Amino acid sequence: MANTKSAEKAARQSTVHRGRNDALTSQLRSAIRKATLAVKAGKKDDALAALDAATPVIDSMVNKGIIHRNKAARHKSRLTKQVRALGN
């Protein structure tokens, strides 16, 4: 238990922040998963659309501090590489 008023407030805030972060992380994973599944299905048009939808979601998570910018760049790079490989 918190011993001071500020510690009590921090505990309340951390609960709210954790809930928000979990929801945003889930949104991120869903966007990445849609793109990955479209690539595995071999549907280039769907994969391109999913990548276009996932890119701003990934960037937004960086701005919110949910993931590190290098992790975002890695996700975008790998997804783009997979989608481009479908064109061959």
CATH number for the domain including 47?
1.20.58.110
Cα angle 12, 58, 81 (rounded to 5 degrees) comes to 150
Confidence (pLDDT) at 87: 76
pLDDT of amino acid 14: 96
- Stated pTM of the model: 0.86
The count of structural domains within the chain is: 1
Identify the CA nearest to 50 among candidates 79, 16, 27. 79
What pLDDT is recorded for position 1?
A: 80
Q: Please give the pLDDT value at position 62.
A: 97
Distance CA 63, CA 80 (A): 21
- If we measure between CA atoms, which residue out of 59, 60, 50 comes closest to residue 80? 50
- pLDDT-flagged residues of the chain (< 70): 88
First to last CA, the chain: 59
Give pLDDT, residue 88: 63
Residue 21 pLDDT: 97
Q: Which domain holds residue 31?
A: 5-86
Distance CA 86, CA 8 (A): 53
